[in-house]
Structure 1
């Protein structure tokens, strides 16, 4: 996270781990990013791993990445607020979602606020937020915001998010998260480098 310009809008970067388009996960992610933009001045970008797939799926080092993936990493590493979402695959986030974050610099997200979201076939998958996504961003020493958003297949009509409960959860997540995000952005964050 870089030092903010107080006159600049909040740089919000959404990352969807969905492997296809259209995607319920990307619909949920877009709804959260839009909710942020209705509350604070924001510039936003949504990164879809389904679109990046060919430019980074076979890369083993960051230097092997194509230009679209390099730009995505730059945007992730310089975001003021990350909103991340993945569908549940085999009880976790998708492999391409993890592969993208494997290329993120270890200290680039220190103190960066991250709002977590996920989609799955049923409510039993909601624990992905706590058991998979929160530890991943804990590794980066990011500031995972306290309220995450989960939506199951029953919350959608096709690719339209219809659930009033999920919409209310989005409002709750954004309203509770934005003060923490603003505080984090207003502070200069120095990456901690371990001496171990």
Structure 2
């Protein structure tokens, strides 16, 4: 009897403290494009899904919704992350969520990095802030990141062709990283 392999669990996490948000729309769009390329089990979370009390908590004191969010990130086969840009950096509570993540659970995890901001001067946050953060976790980051400014999206959709092309490239890269990760994981389990 053959065991059917499970679908890869992909978590898309938006570090926005409000809903609706361009950041959520962006991570969901990457997830949708990945889902168009291959079958996945996609769950989209927002920072507000962590519930109140996140900022004052230690790992052992996390409110249940926040503990579920951290567990979902740690249990994912791949991660799509996005943060709104504030004062030239990622959102503080976005980073705080990752302060609770066990680095061993992120090692080798395929990740796509995204951000939204008020203009082009925020675009390098992905390269200067997010890449080092996920480098610390030894995650396998897609080479292409996606940044979207206010003129690149409308009504929850990507409207800029260059941003759409980057999003498509990032999804293709994540699919490839996910395939490699699953092969390595199957080899390690054997």
TM over 0.5: yes
Alpha-carbon separation, structure 2, partners of 1:12 and 1:159: 20
Larger mean CA deviation between 164-173 and 86-95 belongs to: 164-173
1:1-196 superposed matches below 5 A = 7-59=5-57, 61-188=58-185
- Which aligned runs of 4 or more in structure 1 are off by greater than 6 angstroms? none
Q: Once superposed, what is the RMSD of the aligned Cα atoms?
A: 1.7
- Number of the residue aligned with 1:193: none
Q: Whole-Å Cα distance in 1 between the matches of residues 175 and 97 of structure 2?
A: 25
Shift of 1:158: 4.8
Cα shift at 1:50: 2.3
Q: CA deviation at 1:55?
A: 4.2
Please give the alpha-carbon distance, in whole angstroms, between the structure 1 residues aligned to 2:56 and 2:103: 21
Structure 1 residue 67: deviation in Å?
1.2
- On the 8 A contact 1:55/1:68 being kept in 2, the answer is no
Higher helix share: 2
> Once the 2 structures are TM-superposed, how far is the Cα of residue 154 of structure 1 from its aligned partner?
0.8
Q: Is the 8 A contact 1:91 1:128 kept in 2?
A: yes
- Stretches of structure 1 lacking an aligned partner (at least 5 in a row): 191-196
Size of the alignment, in residue pairs?
185
